[in-house]
Amino acid sequence: MRIATWNVNSITARLPRLLAWLESSGTDVLCLQEAKTTQEQFPAQALSEIGYESAVHATGRWNGVAVLSRIGLADVVRGLPGGPEYEGVAEPRAVAATCGPVRVWSVYVPNGREVGHAHYAYKLRWLDALRGAVARDAVGERPFAVLGDFNIAPADEDVWDRSAFEGATHVTADERDALAALREEGLQDVVPRPLKYDHPFTYWDYRQLGFPKNRGMRIDLVYGNGPFGAAVKDSYVDREERKGKGASDHAPVVVDLDV
C-alpha cells in the first residue's frame, strides 16, 4: 500500500499535475492540504474518473483538506473534534477516514504567523485539540497515521539555516513541544532522516530561488502509531514534483506499507 501527503497549494491550479502524479506514482491514499476551494467546487468527478473517492472538508479560498483513496473510504470525520475557532470561524483544517486497513487524518496545522500573534496562540490550541483527537485513533492494532503540513520543523536540521529563523514561528520550543506531545500518544515520525538527501526538505519558498538553492524546511510529516510504523517498508520525498512550471511550493511525502 502506498500512502502520501501533499500540500498542493490550490487543487484548482494543480489539478493536471495532481491527476498525472496520482496515475504515475501508484499512490493508493493521498492526504491533501490547502485545497483552496469549496466542497462544491472540489474536482471529485475528475478524481473519480481515475479511480479515487474523495473525503473533503473545504469551505472557500483558504485552507481545505481531503483524503483521496482508491482502496475504500469509510468513517469520515470532517473537522477537528474540540478544535478552536479563529476569529469566530472553525477553519477546515482536518479530515479523517478509514482507507482499507488503515485509518488516517489529513491535517493542515495553522501557520502561526508571528510569535506572540493571536494566530500563534490559536496554532498551539489547535495542536492540543489534535492531540486529543488522534489519541482515540492511535490505540489498538489498526495502522493509524496523522499526515499533513504541520507548519513545524521538528528539529534544527529540518530547516536550511537555523539562524535565518531566529525569533520566528515553525521552530519555537512551544511548537516542538506540541509535536512531542503527539508522540507521547504513541505516534512516531515514520519518515527518517536522512533519506536519499542529507536534508529531505518538503517545502521551499517560491521567492528568492528557494528551491534551486535548497533553502527548504521539513514541515510535511507522517506520524504513525506502532502498527503503522512496523508496516513501513520505504519512504521518500518526491522532489521531482517540486520542479517545473506550475509546481506547488511543497513536495509529496510518500510512505510504502506492507499491510
Active site residues: 108, 149, 250
What is the rounded distance in angstroms from the CA atom of residue 236 to the CA atom of residue 98?
A: 23
Closest by alpha carbon to 182, among 128, 119, 123? 128
What is the rounded distance in angstroms from the CA atom of residue 136 to the CA atom of residue 131?
A: 9
Is 256 marked as binding a ligand? Answer: no
- Do 69 and 51 meet the contact criterion of CB atoms below 8 Å apart? no
Is 49 marked as binding a ligand? Answer: no
Indicate the CATH number of 2-257 among 3.30.70.2190, 3.60.10.10, 3.40.50.300, 3.40.190.10.
3.60.10.10
Cα three-residue angle 59-61-64, rounded to 5 degrees: 50
Domain ranges of the chain: 2-257
Is 250 marked as binding a ligand? Answer: yes
User: pLDDT in tens for each of the 259 residues of the chain?
Assistant: 999 999 999 999 999 999 999 999 999 999 999 999 999 999 999 999 999 999 999 998 889 999 999 999 999 999 999 999 999 999 999 999 999 999 999 999 999 999 999 999 999 999 999 999 999 999 999 999 999 999 999 999 999 999 999 999 999 999 999 999 999 999 999 997 655 556 689 999 999 899 999 999 999 999 999 999 999 999 999 999 999 999 999 999 999 999 9
Closest by alpha carbon to 137, among 180, 178, 81? 81
- Which residue's entry shows cell 489534535? 130
What is the rounded distance in angstroms from the CA atom of residue 68 to the CA atom of residue 8?
A: 13
The two beta strands, 94-99 and 53-57, are: unpaired
What pLDDT score does 17 carry?
97
Is 149 marked as binding a ligand? Answer: yes
